[in-house]
Amino acid sequence: MPLIKIRDLHFYRGDRAIFEGVNIDIYRGKITAIMGPSGTGKTTLLRLIGGQLRPDRGTIEVDGQDVHKLSRSELYELRKRMGMLFQSGALLTDIPVFDNVAFPLREHTDLPESMIHDLVLMKLQAVGLRGARDLMPSELSGGMARRVALARAVTLDPMMVMYDEPFTGQDPISMGTLVNLIHKMNDAMDLTSIVVSHDVTETAEIADVIYLLSEGKVIEKGSPVQLKRSSSQWVQQFMQGLPDGPVPFHYSNVSLADDLFAQEESA
Partner 1 sequence: MIETIRSLGRWGLGTFERLGRGHLFLFRTLAGVPEIFLRLSLLVHQLFSVGVLSVFLILISGLFVGMVLGLQGYNTLVDFGAEESLGVLVSLSLVRELGPVVSALLFAGRAGSALTAEIGLMKSTEQLSGMEMMAVDPIHRVIAPRFLAGLISMPLLAALFSAVGIFGGFLVGHGLLGVDDGAFWSQMQVKTDWYDDVLNGVIKSIVFGFVVTWIALFEGYDATPTSEGVGRATTRTVVHSAFAILGLDFVLTALMFGEG
Partner 2 sequence: MMQNKSTEITVGMFVAAGIVALFMLAMKVSNFSEFNDDSGYQVTAEFENIGGLKVRSPVTMAGVRVGRVSDISLSSDTYNAVVTLSLYNNFDVIPTDTAASIYTAGLLGEQYIGLEAGAEEEFLQNGDVIDLTQPALVLEQVIGQFLFSKAEGDE
Q: Which residues bind partner 1 (CB under 8 A)?
A: 47, 50, 52, 76-77, 79-80, 82-84, 86-88, 90-93, 103-104, 107-108, 149, 152
Partner whose binding site includes residue 99, from partner 1, partner 2, none (CB under 5 to 8 Å by kind): partner 2
Partner whose binding site includes residue 95, from partner 1, partner 2, none (CB under 5 to 8 Å by kind): partner 2
Instruction: Kindly state whether residue 95 participates in binding partner 2, applying the rule CB under 8 A.
Output: yes
Q: With CB under 8 A as the contact rule, which of the stretches 20-28, 48-56, 66-74, 93-101 interacts with partner 2?
A: 93-101
Instruction: Kindly state whether residue 117 participates in binding partner 2, applying the rule CB under 8 A.
Output: no
Partner whose binding site includes residue 123, from partner 1, partner 2, none (CB under 5 to 8 Å by kind): none
The length of the chain in residues reads: 267
d(CA 37, CA 230): 17
Q: Is 88 helix (H, G, I), strand (E, B) or coil?
A: coil
d(CA 124, CA 245): 44
Measured from the CB of residue 46, what is the shortest distance to partner 1 in angstroms?
9
How much of the chain is in helix, strand and coil states, percent to nearest 5? Answer: 40, 25, 35
Burial of 28 (0-12, 13-18, 19+ CB in 10 A): middle
d(CA 23, CA 2): 12
Of 107 and 264, CB closest to partner 1 = 107
Among 25, 56, 99, 205, binds partner 2 (CB under 8 A): 99
- Indicate left, alpha or beta for 190 from its phi (over 0: left) and psi (-120 to 50: alpha): left
217-255 residues labelled b (16+ CB within 10 A) or e (exposed): ebbbbeebeebeebeeeebbbbbeeeeeeeeeeeeeeee
The one-character DSSP state at 170 is -
Measured from the CB of residue 1, what is the shortest distance to partner 2 in angstroms?
40
Q: With CB under 8 A as the contact rule, which of the stretches 33-41, 68-76, 80-88, 94-102 interacts with partner 2?
A: 94-102
Measured from the CB of residue 107, what is the shortest distance to partner 1 in angstroms?
5
Measured from the CB of residue 79, what is the shortest distance to partner 1 in angstroms?
4
Instruction: Kindly state whether residue 106 participates in binding partner 2, applying the rule CB under 8 A.
Output: yes
Per CB under 8 A, residues contacting partner 2 are 95-96, 99, 106
